[in-house]
Amino acid sequence: MLITYVAGPYPDDAQNAFIRGWIEAGGRWLALHGTSGGKAARVGEHRRAMVKGPYHDTLGGFFLNHPPVRKFRVNVTDPESPITRGLPASFEVSDQLYLVELQHPEDTKVLLTTELPQDPSPPGFGFVYDRDTSLQADGKTRVLGYTRKIGKGAVTYVALGHCHNPTNNVQPFVDASVEPSGKTPLTFRGSWESPELNRLIQNAIEWSTAD
């Protein structure tokens, strides 16, 4: 079992090759939230863009950006999966809504989605990207969770899970749906306070350790 949460440190090429080989041999990787991020390159004086690396190919997802923390509805698209067992058809969370580009949509089983036709990030907020490749063909759907087989093993990724405290808070502001003043709470647990995410994580850990 391998569980990851944050964007850094991220696997280099040799580490990615090891992880991929381990998965192909039967390992299961449970990746959460910032795992789809990684290295960011400067664009101009004040902006950054994510850099796609080989480990994104193994993970199956690549983070583009997220708007300010907001409330949004999560839809369960595969209720038969052991990872979504016991979840309602949809549920609401307060979180960073990750825009994630699928790397292998043809063999990826989507578990969670939300609807967001356009990235609502204010000008100058977040990361720079050339094209919104996280938007699905219907022009409104974003993938927030998926699972994908690799050899004898598999990867599951869930984009939910932002939290911070006063020592690591870098959110300049939040959406009014979370806090009408727009001021970022000093401590934020977001979707971790929802029973749905906790059930999802419990299911995913059981999946990752199953024979």
For residue range 152-170, list pLDDT tens digits in order.
Answer: 999 999 999 999 999 989 8
pLDDT given for residue 142 in this prediction: 98
pLDDT at 5: 74
Name the one residue in this structure whose structure tokens are 């490749």.
Answer: 133
CA distances from 42 to 50, 66, 72, 126, 152 (A): 9, 17, 30, 12, 38
Is the model's pTM score more than 0.85? yes
* Spatial CB neighbours of 178, under 8 Å, sequence gap ≥ 6: 69, 70, 71, 94, 185
- Between vectors from CA 156 to CA 155 and to CA 161, what angle results, nearest 5°? 140
User: In this predicted structure, what is the pLDDT of residue 195?
Assistant: 96
Q: What is the pLDDT of residue 209?
A: 87
pLDDT score recorded for residue 44 = 81
CA distance 133 to 63: 10
* pLDDT given at position 85: 96
Q: Tokens for 204, please give them.
A: 């995913």
Q: Are 96 and 173 in contact (CB under 8 A)?
A: no
Query: Any idea where the domains of the chain sit in the sequence?
Result: 2-209
Helix, coil or strand: residue 106: helix
Pick one of 3.40.50.170, 3.40.630.30, 3.60.15.10, 3.40.50.880 as the CATH number of 2-209: 3.40.50.880
**CB atoms < 10 A from the CB of 171, how many?**
14
What is the model's pLDDT at position 4? 76
Residue carrying the six token digits 């409330």: 71
Strand 70-76 relative to strand 90-95, pairing: antiparallel
Cα→Cα distances 93→83, 104, 123, 162, 192, Å: 18, 27, 24, 11, 9
Distance between CA atoms of 93 and 164, rounded to whole angstroms?
16
As a whole number of angstroms, the distance between CA 47 and CA 125 comes to: 8
Residue type, 31: A
Phi-psi region of 29 (alpha: psi -120 to 50; beta: other; left: phi over 0): beta
Per-10-residue mean pLDDT of the chain, 211 residues long, equals 75 94 96 93 89 96 97 97 97 97 97 97 93 96 98 97 92 93 93 95 91 69
Provide the pLDDT for residue 45: 80
Spatial contact of 149 and 60, defined as CB atoms under 8 Å apart: no
Q: Please tell me the predicted confidence (pLDDT) of residue 75.
A: 98
